[in-house]
């Protein structure tokens, strides 16, 4: 993956498929920390809009057993380094690793989560709603796309 500079992870499932969300954040972490990919973006698609609402990712806990399992596979990582839920993981990845977390604002409006594309009152502050041209640019400009 040395030639990948722009990696996009598309999440297009809701709370009924929590492993997709866990996998997205683990892959984003590995892409930045292990593969050293410059730009990593997690993109919430139309079916995942509900997961960007305030408090939804916090409901996906990372248990001590899962922390141990993950840490045992990544050199230099200890279970105590890992957060307690996916909201905390998302904030860490955005703030410390510069992972972009975005979603198509059009679907916020269609879903009723916002009155306008830029209305972030119902979604997590770490998610950036993007307009259709930006979403297409992100998808078409990626060197590699992963999907969950």
Q: What is the pLDDT of residues 123-138, one digit of tens each?
A: 999 999 999 999 999 9
Q: Where are the alpha helices (DSSP H) in 6-130?
A: 18-33, 64-71, 86-97, 105-111
Q: Find the domain containing 68 and state its range.
A: 6-147
Strand ordering across the sheet containing 100-104: 128-130, 100-104, 39-44, 6-11, 144-147
Strand partners, 140: none
Q: Supply 131's token pair.
A: 């307009």
Res 2 pLDDT > 70:
no
Q: Would residue 125 count as lying in a domain?
A: yes
Q: Give domain status of residue 24, yes or no.
A: yes
* pTM for this predicted structure: 0.92
Band (pLDDT 50/70/90 cuts) for residue 147 is confident
Model confidence pLDDT, tens digit, residues 55-87: 999 999 999 999 999 999 988 889 999 999 999
Query: Based on the structure, what is the number of domains in the chain?
Result: 1
- On whether residue 20 sits in a domain, the answer given is yes
**127 DSSP assignment:** P
**130 part of a folded domain:** yes
Residue 86, domain CATH? 3.40.1260.10
Query: Is residue 140 in a domain?
Result: yes
CA distance 122 to 113: 6
Instruction: Decide if 1 is inside a domain.
Output: no
| Domain assignment of residue 66, yes or no | yes
Across the strands, what pairs with 8?
A: 41, 145
3-state secondary structure of 99: coil
Judge whether 102 lies within some domain. Answer: yes
What pLDDT does 41 receive? 98
């Amino acid at each position: 993956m040395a030639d990948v500079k722009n990696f996009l992870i598309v999440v297009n499932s809701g709370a009924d498929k929590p492993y997709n969300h866990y996998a997205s954040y683990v892959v984003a972490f590995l892409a930045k920390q292990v593969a050293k990919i410059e730009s990593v973006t997690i993109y919430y698609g139309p079916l995942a809009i509900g997961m960007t609402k305030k408090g939804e990712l916090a409901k996906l806990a990372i248990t001590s057993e899962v922390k141990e399992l993950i840490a045992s596979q990544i050199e230099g990582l200890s279970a105590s380094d890992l957060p307690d839920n996916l909201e905390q993981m998302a904030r860490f990845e955005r703030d410390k690793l510069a992972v972009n977390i975005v979603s198509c604002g059009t679907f916020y409006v269609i879903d009723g989560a916002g009155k306008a594309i830029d209305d972030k009152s119902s979604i997590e502050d770490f998610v950036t709603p993007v307009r259709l041209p930006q979403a297409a640019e992100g998808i078409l400009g990626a060197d590699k796309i992963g999907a969950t």
